[in-house]
Amino acid sequence: MDTLSNRILDLAIRIQQVPAPTFHEHERAAFVRARFLEEGLDVETDATGNVYARLPSTAGARPLVVSAHLDTVFPIETDLSISREADRITGPGIGDNALGVAGLFGLLWSLREREVHLPGDLYLVANVGEEGLGNLHGMKAIVERFGADALAYLAIEGMALGQVYHRGLGVRRYRICLRTSGGHSWHDHGSPSAVHELAALVTRLTALPLPSRPRTTLNVGRIAGGTSVNTIAAEAWLEIDLRSESVEALSALTHQVEILAEEIGRPGVKVEIEEIGSRPAGEIPASHPLVRLAQHCLSAQGIPPRLAIGSTDINLPLSRGLPAICLGLTRGGGAHTEHEYILSSPLQQGMEQLVMFVSRVWQVTPP
């Protein structure tokens, strides 16, 4: 493994050691901001918490925006201990997305080492709000700042090397809350229980037929309620995640979920449905110059490129008709678990792919 890869991995571990749950990325953002300043870049932070570093160009072409999200899915109290082996680093959030953020610096170091002079400004952005209920609010601020003035948007993820994300997967998320009068488990037996009613709803939701094409999914991710073991529950709630490759299929599934939830309601059982998250869908075609360039850069490293759809930061610019793709830096597994890991050796190929892409993107994208 080359020196640059080791340097990036060391920085990724330092970033990973700073907790950054969604909505609480400020400490990690401050760490990254300080590192950008050490590199002598023009650095600023916006109202959402995004950190922007600019590598200026004198040629005057439109800027390229390269971003990596700061936040993780893990609560603030999570043990962030790292295990480092010969070709594997294991730890919560190491691949998603501490390595992606470290990759911003790796890109900068590579361009400087090779004395690459870009025709337009390069913005390296460590952004907030990609995970969970962040609803891409960090990326929204980035797109509102640059809009169509940007040459393109490139999001970096630590893992998924070999995949070229050019399609944004639509996502809708809801919290469904049921309320009853509750009561004593013995004296008031027969009165509606919010827990029982919610359990019946989950059974009906998970029995919904979902199309395999376009691929569509439903997941009840969180559920809670009740007061004690001998109390008829007066309140219970769940959070549900709906996804589909098709805007129409997602809309149809959302409608079915709303109908089933409303049918639970009756005298003595109150139903509240709240949308808590939404990620817009969008895509650029496989024939787009950005996609073809990304495929070429992977092939040049001996990696067969795979076109992919996912729910990432690029959903936002794609939904607004702006050119955007997402690329990974290495391979790994266990994402969103405390046993998440990355492989060290493929990182060199991942960085070569990234540097080649950034060096050539102005040549293939129309002015």
Rounded to 5 degrees, what angle do the CA atoms 309, 61, 101 make? 45
The residues that bridge with 138 in the sheet, in sequence order, are none
pLDDT above 80 (res 1): no
For residues 178 and 243, state if they share a domain.
Answer: yes
Tokens of 309: 């759809």
**Alpha carbons 55 and 64: distance in angstroms, whole number:** 10
Give the CATH number for residue 252. 3.30.70.360
- Strand blocks (E) in the chain: 42-45, 51-55, 61-69, 83-84, 88-90, 120-127, 152-157, 163-168, 170-179, 183-184, 216-225, 231-232, 235-244, 270-279, 282-283, 306-310, 324-328, 332-333, 341-343
For residues 155 and 297, state if they share a domain.
Answer: yes
The 10s digit of each residue's pLDDT in 243-258 is 999 999 999 999 999 9
**Alpha carbons 223 and 236: distance in angstroms, whole number:** 8
For residues 140 and 59, state if they share a domain.
Answer: yes
Q: Return the pLDDT at 367.
A: 61
In angstroms, the first-to-last Cα distance of the chain is 38
The parent domain of residue 301 ranges over: 3-169+281-364
Q: Which of 250, 279, 308 is the last residue in one of the domains?
A: 279
Q: Return the pLDDT at 365.
A: 78
The 10s digit of each residue's pLDDT in 220-275 is 999 999 999 999 999 999 999 999 999 999 999 999 999 999 999 999 999 999 99
The 10s digit of each residue's pLDDT in 148-172 is 999 999 999 999 999 999 999 999 9
Q: Which of 279, 297, 330 is the last residue in one of the domains?
A: 279
Q: Return the pLDDT at 58.
A: 83
User: How would you classify residue 86: left for phi > 0, otherwise alpha for psi between -120 and 50, otherwise beta?
Assistant: alpha
Paired sense of beta strands 42-45 and 51-55, if any:
antiparallel
Residue 192's SS3 state is coil
